[in-house]
A and B are shown apart, each in its own frame.
Chain A
């Protein structure tokens, strides 16, 4: 067979890899660490033995939580179903059909065969019911786990199944629509504003493949990227990722954002301090800002300590303070550099795509960030609720600068496909959120002036004032 090389190395699990464990429809993202106990589906084990195996391998959990690669799949023996009834007219639900006790079952966990042999009704069940019985029992007592390479598909399904609240109930098919409607692809410059644990950001980065740039616009103190880590991207992907605090958007748009010397840490006051200044002021501040536990600690120490150890401790404290201060300077400097880099990417207002999926009201976010897009570029906004997107739609229509506006949601249905038993699944997802998508176009320069927020706001206020004075 003409194969594309025997290079299996990149298909094998390495120590430190981010992987996803799977059993049935349940997923869990973990990192491979030696001698680390992992709990998955009420079972604990060590992932040490997964190292060196191919991705997609199924393991059995054996004694002491060790994993053992499963031997080639045993074909489900049809012998079990040899003796079968045709219908269920003689089957009584007396709750006594299983003669084994709970303890017996505990000791015979994997041995589904035992359960079958001791079930008085099993032979009377139809072939289909027998299969279902076996499947159910197997699922209950199965101790296998599959180790998968993380992907947008798997992580989106995992988050939706395990923690939908953390991703604003964004369903995987909705995420799929967003990536496609946003035309996310290698080489473009994409803005992302999300509060979906980093899942949406990770999905965008995956589609960019390390080509182009992504700017994560983040609210609050820092960007949330837990979900991005689970993708296990190669380190060079992170070079394409920038971050920009949403609280500086107005300043950037107005051209008043100074990324040169200013400290952008919002809770620090040393805005115009040089380095020497920083070292002096920082320890004091660290003390003051440290919160109540810190200060409490200190007062207790000073009041009770009479022994010579006090001096030593104080010295150490000083040292720690200095180190902390030093670290802070480095961090501040890093942050400033990052801000200036991201500002540089944004300044041209020529981004190729915009993806919004957050718990914030999407309207101001969209109207603010769409200004960074070049004309003829797609944008896509997710919301768990329809009403805020109706508002976005109306405002965009009023303001102009966008065409092809569409408010949509998608509906997904899974099927059971088995010989003579094909039907839709009994349970389906009720809602996966809504999407507003569209394409930017160049605005008329005259119109753009009157539409800018700076011109609009005072006018609105004045209007209110006159209303109240009249009334």
Chain B
């Protein structure tokens, strides 16, 4: 009886939190590239700087639009005034780079010495004339991709509101109309008619531009119009967000942003599975459509066609098992997709589990497991890497998705690994990119298939048994 129960409903566990992940300040690496007119200033110590420098690899040399405000002993002991110091550095940034926004990333150290960044920012902002966004992306509170969440939550406050009366807006926009002169009226109305009537929808989550275009087109096919995207390509193009707008997240780690949009900007959150994998993408679109009372068109065929094109990859993993050690919060969605591909998954490690924000995704995971007839995974929040490795030795999974600290040692012990960070940087959203997820997930298996004949699996000497 208990056994049957265990296999159909999700169980959650929480371990010690001794696990390896990237520091959340790493979000500057992809956000500065996404928001083209921004400058990220990480206010921290040498440790933060050293991490960024090493984690970013080659990017560091390309004159990045980010830098460290490296705290010195005088800053720690408050012999130097924070305000004056930050002003000096921000003026230097303004002079050299002239960004449209400076994002301050607060770190562990600024937390501990209680540097009041949120208080200093508005003052300095008005003094130097550049908007300053403050995000506390520190390792005391957050893991890896949650860094983006703190930045986007802070940016949500900076999104403009629209001018109230629609007619008044028309009048003010007389110049705009003038510019449209010559463009045929039918063109405009035809463009509008491609969309169905629905309240404005803003999506949140930073994705590479090609993926943004791709998801926008998918929704356009259903007549759903995206009014804006948080973040947009430029800070100056942040979307209008008014009370009553609908919002939807594209990534599983954006719970603070979602909360901010709901509570502070009075938006309605469409809680859906995330558009990762063809199953996730379809569920995501269906959920959005259902909220807007739109009957989705041709989604089933579209999904089926994508699965068909993936068969070559799926053959390699069907019936195999995957173990997520957990470090970037994409784990639930990826596991759900891989289970749909025919894999089994004994354990999903995850740094932090927001059961409300991820509710639809969790339900979808459970449903997927039941439909595929496999046991539901154990979800381990704040995992303990040491314990996990003992479990990996016991379970002998066919694939372990893990951070770089463990990848080589596991490979040397004959265990296939995929480096988890790649899923954060690769394009994995939408129907089109499902192939890329599988390309990543099957790479170790394909590679090791090639080497199979050589008998080189275990490359460490047997350890003496105690």
A binds B: no
Residues of A that sit less than 8 Å from B by CB = none
